[in-house]
Amino acid sequence: VYKRQGWEDTGQAASAASPENRLVMLRALAAVPPRQRAVLVLRYWEDQSIEDVAALLGCSPGTVKSQAARGLDTLRGLLTPTYSGTEKGTR
């Protein structure tokens, strides 16, 4: 059975992020449209389920999924120039 791991389980990765990287991420997140930002924060920062986010925002689970995808695309677009060594579509 697959169990989604919360942010607490990834403490090492989170603590390894430099303050500069966190600041860059927060600035980029602030530039994301409000609805997409709300979905991203609730879904990934607060580790809420799709259904819980939908209930909190008063929308359908499909809307949560599409707003999350759009928000992540927006973040990628904002962060890619910052990390010029990273090409879109590669890891």
pLDDT band at residue 88 using 50, 70 and 90 as cut-offs: low
pLDDT per residue as tens digits for the range 26-84: 999 999 999 999 999 999 999 999 999 999 999 999 999 999 999 999 999 999 865 55
According to CATH, the topology of domain 34-83 is Arc Repressor Mutant, subunit A (1.10.10)
pLDDT of residue 2: 47
pLDDT of residue 77: 93
pLDDT single digits (tens) 4-22: 555 455 444 555 578 888 8
> Are residues 64 and 54 in contact, defined by beta-carbon separation less than 8 angstroms?
yes
The CA-to-CA distance between both ends of the chain, in Å, stands at 28
Residues 6+ apart with CB under 8 A from 86: 80
Q: Name the token pair of 46.
A: 């607060």
Instruction: Using CA atoms of 37, 42, 44, 45 in order, give the dihedral in degrees to the nearest 10.
Output: 90
- Maximum alpha-carbon separation in the chain: 39
CA distance 85 to 88: 10
Per-residue model confidence (pLDDT) at position 76 = 93
